[in-house]
Structure 1
Amino acid sequence: MTRAKAESVNFMAPFTVLRRPDLGKRLARRLVRELSRDFSLEQLDFPLLERDISDSLAMPSAIKSITKATDVLDLAWICTPPSPGSGGHTTLFRMVHGMEKRGHRCTILLYNRHGSDPQKYISLIRQYWPELSANIAVVPDQIIGYHACVASSWETAHVLAARGAAISRRLYFVQDYEPYFYPRGSMYALAEDTYRFGFQHIALGNMTTALLRREAGVTPVTVPFGCDVDTYKLENHGHRNGIAFFARPETDRRGYLTARLALKEFNFRHPEQLITVYGDRVSDLDFPHHHAGHLSPLELNRLYNRCLAGLAMSYTNISLVAEEMLASGARVVVNASSLASVDATNSHIIWGPPTPTGIASALSTAVCSPLSNTERTNMARSVRKGWQHTQDLVATAIEATCREGQTEVESMKGSP
């Protein structure tokens, strides 16, 4: 009997694991870790090829400028492949379009260390950012034939340093203090080192400027945030219900875990309010909600116009979502952050303590204190008006940098 009982227990062990999902998850995680170690899978998450890692202490001397100024500039912009709705890419492409409107020729150089089919991302850019007329290509082994080249993130700054020795005018459009994206370690240090590469920095917002000065000892050109009021506008003066939340589970600075717990508590307090989650796919929301997936700007404006409020989480620079919601007439809750608040000075933002209860209470305030039509109209009008001023300042900075001296490009011009 003892042997039979033991055999019965061994036979049922797999089913015991199935009845204990947490144990099953731990076993799966252990297996993933072992596979990751055996096959060096963590290297797949590293965003650079090893040959593109640059070092500020081993940078070659900048080449001397050899040409006179020209009215029409040939400019390259390096970026990683975008995804639909990417705020960072949207802001960057606005700056590219600003240069195009001034008559300059622009090329977007895509950097993807995994070598994915570039046509997929070219088609995506044409679909989601149709205003761009820029040429789009893969970053070549050697970047030549441009008056200037602009990096748009810490990874692309390394690529520009490694492959752009022939470019005398190298700039860096800095939208956030990117070392803060990582724990203290190698990735933090690699991101931080890019600010010592000697590029001309153009910083979006006062927070980024202050951190570049304090942490890296560089003084950038500062340009302000804008808000796309041509797309995001108040259209619904009638009934509204619910809240909207932009989910980025794999980007911790966007506060997904805190938001998920806060929304669960909010739903307990206000089950009558529809919660709409949009953005990345999520599978761990254990409260009633509607997942809308990735939405176009026009679809987002329609969503915000249906909602009483929205949640825009950010632990570094302020999310563009905050003012876009306000422009559409939805009150917005943002987690209290000394970093995000530097550039988010709109008095209509509701700052919630960055805990689940704090955020849930702030959302309750937003939906329990409905605005009058006059108050909602004033709130929508309070946002920054467009991106033209920012585009002009970025364009002026690039033009001034190039006028200081340019590389002869016509003799080197070719397909990147």
Structure 2
Amino acid sequence: MTLTRTTIGEKSRQLGSRATRAAGILRSEGPRVLAQRLARYSYNRLGAASLSEPLLDDDIADSTQLNLALPEHRPPRSQPLRIGWVMVPPSAGSGGHTTLFRMVEALERAGHRCELFLYDRYGGDLRAHERVIRDWWPNIRAEVHDATDGISGVDACVASGWETAHVLARRGTSPMQRLYFIQDYEPYFYARGSMYSLAEDTYRFGFRAIALGEMVAMLLRSEIGISPDITEFGCDTSVYRLLPERERSGVVLFARPEVPRRGYPLARLALQRFHGLHPEVAVHLYGSEAKGLPFPATQHGRLTPTELNELYNSSIAGLAMSFTNISLVAEEMLAAGTIPVVNDSVHSRADLVNEHVKWATPTPHGIAAALSAVVTSSDRAAAARAASESVRQFGWTRAQADVVRIIEDEVYGS
């Protein structure tokens, strides 16, 4: 392009106008907001939104086109099985992966061999992912493979999320049984659109579905028209429990600003109102770092389960927000004597039947009012004891036994 004086002058005026706007934002709102706006501008100009798409185009399956091979013969029950598990790489301490690895461990204890197939849409280092697994889930013996190299050599394979269901359908084409361990109704992760539809379509792939809890099962029946196997939530009461002689004085939030289903913006607004009502009550956050909080808070970052139990034992109440299934955090808080405030819904109540839960209308005022009611109640020690004693004591053993039984039934036959 030939630059004329007119073109050069117009470019200069545009740059000058942008610089003036930037200087105004810097003066009125500060450097952090200016940096955020520049990042947002660059994000849009570069088309970076495509990076949030969790699948490569070639890994997207279509329920109307699937014709996946099944084994011609079933193995005898005396023969141990090889079970594959397809998952995205875990981050340290990931709750969803912790639940999934409990099931893997149960299959290994039952004498079967497990294989993990990791799908990293961004092509990360497989060995680095494996180190996270070995460090955080040391009881898992399964070998770790790259799912993009293909999924084969197993009697059955279990998808663990909607992305991995697509990967299993596309890359696990050799004869095998296919199952789907469903911890959330995952279309709800998104607004109605492409990702919602792609997530929803996985429930039509024909994999044997294992729903964790009644909420997921209800939605699979009503929205998709399938009847899954159902197993129930557990709680690790060997870790989450009352500790002796602990003084409770604060409230706690599991903060995941980057995960919409965890309701962080709503929780932040509620805690701002709560702080206005009770400035003397300390606020604690753990999980991901929260930026720009409009109230004072102690941020603990990522905690081990033992450290988290310590934090719960020092807290009166906690926010356990989740909009796609009940959060495991709620029952873990109960076990430690912390009263959980949970966003109310008919689906959530199906999986958390407990009189000590404080259900809240999911609005800033509704959540703040529920927290206020808990911290102003009398006899906190008695409430903590009663909450802890109300938790189911069988841990995850029922869910583990169910998953072993269902997978064996699918492979060996009834």
| TM-score w.r.t. length of structure 1 | 0.90
CA displacement at 1:395 relative to structure 2: 0.5
* Separation in 2, partners of 1:101, 1:291: 38
Measured after TM superposition, the shift of residue 61 of structure 1 is 4.2
C-alpha root-mean-square deviation of aligned residues, in Å?
A: 2.3
Does residue 297 (structure 1) correspond to residue 327 (structure 2)? The answer is no
Alpha-carbon shift at residue 365 of structure 1 (Å): 1.1
Pairwise CA distance, 1:374: 4.4
Partner residue, 1:387: 396
AA in 2 matched with 1:308: I
Q: State the alpha-carbon separation in 2 of the partners of residues 51 and 12 from structure 1.
A: 45
Alignment-derived partner of residue 40 in structure 1? 47
Tell me the alpha carbon deviations over residues 256-315 of structure 1, each in whole angstroms, 9 at most, x when there is no partner.
111101111111211221111000111121211100000011110011011111111112
- Gaps (5+ residues) in structure 1? 1-7, 406-416
Correspondences of 1:12-91 after superposition (within 5 Å): 14-21=22-29, 25=33, 29=37, 32-33=40-41, 35-36=42-43, 38-70=45-77, 71-91=79-99
Shift of 1:66: 2.6
User: Hey, what's the Cα distance between the residues in 2 that align with 1:306 and 1:28?
Assistant: 35
Between 1 and 2, higher relative CO (CA 8 Å, sep ≥ 6) is seen in 1
Moved more, 223-232 or 331-340: 331-340
Matches within 5 A, 1:247-286: 247-286=255-294
Candidates 341, 345, 366, aligned match of 1:337: 345
Change beyond 3 A, Cα 1:24–1:251: closer
Cα distance, 1:142 vs. partner? 2.3
The answer as to whether partners of 1:332 and 1:366 remain within 8 angstroms in 2 is: no
Structure 2 CA distance for partners of 1:244 and 1:372, relative to 1, 3 Å: closer
The whole-number CA distance in structure 2 between the counterparts of 1:272 and 1:12 is 43
**What is the one-letter code of the residue matched to 1:402?**
V
Which position in structure 2 is the counterpart of 1:169? 177
CA distance in 2, matches of 1:281, 1:31: 19
Change (3 A) 1:348 1:45: same
Are the counterparts in 1 of residues 326 and 348 from structure 2 also a CA contact under 8 Å?
yes
Give the 5 Å matches for 1:223-262: 223-262=231-270
Give the Cα separation in 1 of the matches to 2:39 and 2:59.
Answer: 32
Distance 1:216 1:163 in 2: 24
Name 1:120's counterpart in structure 2.
128
**Residues 236 and 305 in structure 1, CA contact (< 8 A), matched pair in contact too:** no
| TM-score of the aligned structures, taking structure 2 as reference length | 0.90
Correspondences of 1:195-210 after superposition (within 5 Å): 195-210=203-218
Structure 2 residue ranges without an equivalent (≥5): 1-15
Q: Distance in 1 between matches of 2:369 and 2:73?
A: 61
- Whether contact under 8 Å (1:149, 1:167) holds in the other structure is no
Do the aligned partners of 2:85 and 2:158 also contact (CA within 8 Å) in 1?
yes
| Separation in structure 2 between the aligned mates of residue 309 and residue 37 of structure 1, nearest angstrom | 40
Distance in 2, matches of 1:402 and 1:348, equals 41
> Cα gap change, 1:60/1:19 in structure 2, threshold over 3 Å: closer, same or farther?
same
DSSP-derived class of the 1:188 partner: helix
> For the residues of structure 2 that align with 1:37 and 1:318, how far apart are their CA atoms?
34
CA distance in 2, matches of 1:330, 1:29: 39
Cα distance change on mapping 1:243 and 1:112 into 2, 3 Å: same
- CA contact 2:70–2:177 (8 Å) conserved in 1: no
Post-superposition CA distance 1:184-220 (Å, at most 9, x none): 1000000000001010100000111111111111111
Are 1:190 and 2:201 matched, yes or no? Answer: no
Q: Which amino acid aligns with 1:50?
A: D
- Summarize the Cα distance change of 1:167–1:21 in structure 2 as closer, same or farther, 3 Å threshold: farther
Match of 1:399 among 397, 401, 408: 408
Q: Distance in 1 between matches of 2:230 and 2:30?
A: 49
Aligned residues: 397
- Aligned in 2, Cα 1:10/1:226: closer, same or farther, shift over 3 Å? closer
- The code of the aligned residue for 1:320 comes to L
Does the Cα contact within 8 Å between 2:26 and 2:34 map onto a contact in 1?
no
1:349-388 Cα offsets, whole Å, 9 max, x none, are 0011111111111111111114454443232021122000
Q: 1:11 to 1:86 in 2, by over 3 A?
A: closer
